[in-house]
Amino acid sequence: MRERDRPAAFRDSVPGADVELAYAGFNRFLKGDEREVDDVDDVEAAVLGVPYDGAVSNRPGARYGPEAIRRASGWWAYISDYKSGLTNMQTGKNVDFGKLSVADCGDVPVFPMDHETTAESITAHVAAVASQTFPVLLGGDHYCTFPSVRGFAEGGGYDNVGFVQIDAHTDTVSESPVFGTDFHGSSTALIADSPFVDYENVSQVAIRGYESPDFFEFADDTGLNLYTMREVEKRGIGDVVSDAIEAAAANTDAVYVSFDIDAVDPSVAPGTGTPIPGGLSAQQALETMEILGSHEAVGGADLMEVAPRYDPTDGTQRLAAYLLVTLLERAFAE
């Protein structure tokens, strides 16, 4: 036997040698196949990372989010590979991860001092994926959602896109005297100003903190579907998210979901750049993704603003991975 053939022979002869431990191997989301963006038409979902945080207004660090989420997701890949079928004790559903084929296309090229070129890169790569399958973007700061939605619409051939935003902030600042027109606080304004999305099909859940003095009037005038944390606590997360997705989906071709991890209370997910107290619990966040993942209109998603260096417990990125897994398993693995 040639020396170069010995590793393959070992893997073939030893049971379990093909099981990749959660902490071993290359970091790929759910240990998915490494693919180029033009070769994902045979998988259920394809992941792209955007290690960019050049548009934040507070603490940087979301550039490290994609790698951290990928690493955290290895646990689900391990247990699903090791066992034949699983029961999700949260949902009570049987999950067949064998139905969930995921490819990881790596990180898109980013340009730390050039947000316009970075945006062009995101749009091009998301469009390529969206033309073939369900795109999943790992951020990165929330500005990156704007070019991702644009790529989702262009690649999917959608004239009208609904947008569900789970977030502490509305990101509807059209222009800031300090940050200009293109930063993570302007992403939803840019999305709603695009040819693909109108405020009537934008739903925002878990909003809290502070906005402009006339913001509620702005929401009424534009038709924005606004669900603050006070409403979540009053009505329950299930009813709120169900209403939010229906409003976003009405008369649109597809819905894009954006989950900013700062929607979750910082006592649970401190690893983010702009934490606001009084947010979603982990349970509420997971239920949110259960509902969104089961809706047939949802065609793409992102998970943004994970800044792992602010959370020494790794809990923030673990929850982020869990949220995406929940969305994808409800969409494809039940």
Annotated binding-site residue numbers for Mn(2+): 142, 167, 169, 171, 260, 262
Residue type, 263: A
Evaluate whether 93 touches 294 at the Cβ level (below 8 Å): no
- The contacts of residue 279 (CB under 8 Å, 6+ apart) are 168, 206, 208, 229, 262, 263, 264, 265, 266, 268
Secondary structure (3-state) at 13 = helix
Tell me which H or E stretch contains 217: helix 215-222
Joined tokens for residue 235: 């009505």
Evaluate whether 46 touches 40 at the Cβ level (below 8 Å): yes
Evaluate whether 34 touches 104 at the Cβ level (below 8 Å): yes
Whole-angstrom Cα distance, residue 102 to residue 91? Answer: 21
* Residues contributing to the annotated binding site: 142, 167, 169, 171, 260, 262
Evaluate whether 299 touches 156 at the Cβ level (below 8 Å): yes
Evaluate whether 80 touches 69 at the Cβ level (below 8 Å): no
